[in-house]
């Protein structure tokens, strides 16, 4: 028997207090909890690192959009912090997930978020929810989950599945070229006159009185910044 080992007496502890617990409580909440703080900082740093790798090396490398870089990093960090704190409130996880699903569908008032940017936002929200919620398996499975998402994005980006395309509405006057049997002539004329790498064209409304037609052309943009007025045919008079 170890002579240095002391038996714990609940009656003595209840009378004099547990001397082993030196933490100070403020309104029932510990003022400082070292182990919990380290756990929080490590998980926050890991989530921040994963989100930064996805944003910087996978998204920003192609898009060069600083505004979404700013949005993704802050969005993922704040969601992690909120979810991490929700664990202490014993909030139902289904309610939390529903709340952030609504946030993920928000479209900014300034411009419509492109599908690629929306996808990256959804991925970062999902990872932040995983990293901010409680662990239900081993740390190895926790890390592997994040790595699988990063590798999947890298693979799809490397295979060119996220090659960006844009569309534009054009009022076209050579309606004799809109016939299906003259499609190649139409594409050649549009490429020469617009200077765009047009890969597809669709014919919309046709006005035979004015000899014009609306065309929707799909092209490969040379500028990573999206064109906010691509689908505008004319400006409204104010």
Instruction: Say yes or no to pLDDT of 215 above 60.
Output: yes
Beta bridge partners of residue 214, listed in sequence order: 171
Q: pLDDT-derived band of residue 227, with 50, 70 and 90 as boundaries?
A: low
Portion of the chain with pLDDT greater than 90, in percent: 28
CA dihedral 115, 120, 121, 123 (to 10 degrees): 120
Residues ≥6 apart with Cβ < 8 Å to 186: 174, 177, 178, 201
Euclidean distance between CA atoms 31 and 25, whole angstroms = 5
Residues ≥6 apart with Cβ < 8 Å to 153: 54, 58, 123
Which pLDDT does position 176 carry in this prediction? 93
Residues ≥6 apart with Cβ < 8 Å to 25: 31
Q: Which residue has the higher pLDDT, 210 or 130?
A: 210
Instruction: Say yes or no to pLDDT of 98 above 50.
Output: yes
Joined tokens for residue 95: 């309610």
* Residues in the chain, total: 238
Euclidean distance between CA atoms 69 and 63, whole angstroms = 10
Euclidean distance between CA atoms 122 and 103, whole angstroms = 10
Q: pLDDT-derived band of residue 1, with 50, 70 and 90 as boundaries?
A: very low
- Of these ranges, 55-69, 91-105, 129-143, the one predicted with the greatest mean pLDDT is 55-69
Per-residue pLDDT, averaged over 193-217, amounts to 92
Per-residue pLDDT, averaged over 72-84, amounts to 84
Cα atoms found within 13 Å of the Cα of residue 52, Cβ hemisphere only: 6
Residue that the structure tokens 């617990």 belong to: 21
Q: Which residue has the higher pLDDT, 190 or 12?
A: 190
Question: Would you call 207 helix, strand, or coil by DSSP?
Answer: strand
Which pLDDT does position 89 carry in this prediction? 55
Which pLDDT does position 5 carry in this prediction? 46
Per-residue pLDDT, averaged over 134-148, amounts to 80
Average pLDDT over the chain, rounded to an integer: 77
Which pLDDT does position 156 carry in this prediction? 84
Q: Which residue has the higher pLDDT, 121 or 9?
A: 121
Residues ≥6 apart with Cβ < 8 Å to 212: 171, 172, 173, 175, 206
């Amino acid at each position: 028997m170890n002579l240095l080992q002391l038996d714990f007496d609940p009656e003595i502890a209840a009378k004099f207090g547990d001397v082993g617990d030196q933490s100070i409580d403020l309104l029932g909440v510990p003022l400082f909890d070292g182990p919990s703080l380290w756990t929080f900082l490590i998980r926050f740093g890991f989530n921040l690192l994963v989100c930064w790798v996805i944003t910087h090396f996978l998204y920003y490398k192609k898009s060069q959009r600083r505004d979404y870089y700013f949005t993704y990093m802050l969005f993922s960090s704040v969601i992690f912090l909120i979810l991490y704190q929700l664990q202490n409130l014993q909030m139902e996880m289904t309610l939390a997930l529903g709340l952030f699903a609504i946030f993920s569908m928000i479209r900014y008032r300034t411009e419509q978020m492109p599908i690629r940017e929306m996808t990256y936002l959804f991925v970062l929200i999902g990872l932040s929810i995983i990293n901010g919620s409680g662990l239900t398996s081993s740390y190895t499975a926790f890390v592997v989950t994040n790595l699988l998402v990063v590798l999947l994005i890298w693979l799809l980006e490397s295979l060119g599945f996220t090659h960006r395309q844009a569309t534009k509405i054009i009022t076209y006057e050579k309606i004799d070229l809109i016939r299906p049997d003259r499609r190649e002539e139409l594409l050649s004329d549009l490429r020469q006159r617009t200077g765009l790498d047009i890969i597809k064209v669709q014919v919309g409304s046709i006005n035979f009185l004015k000899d014009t037609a609306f065309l929707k052309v799909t092209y490969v943009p040379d500028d990573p910044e999206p064109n906010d007025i691509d689908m505008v045919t004319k400006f409204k008079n104010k």
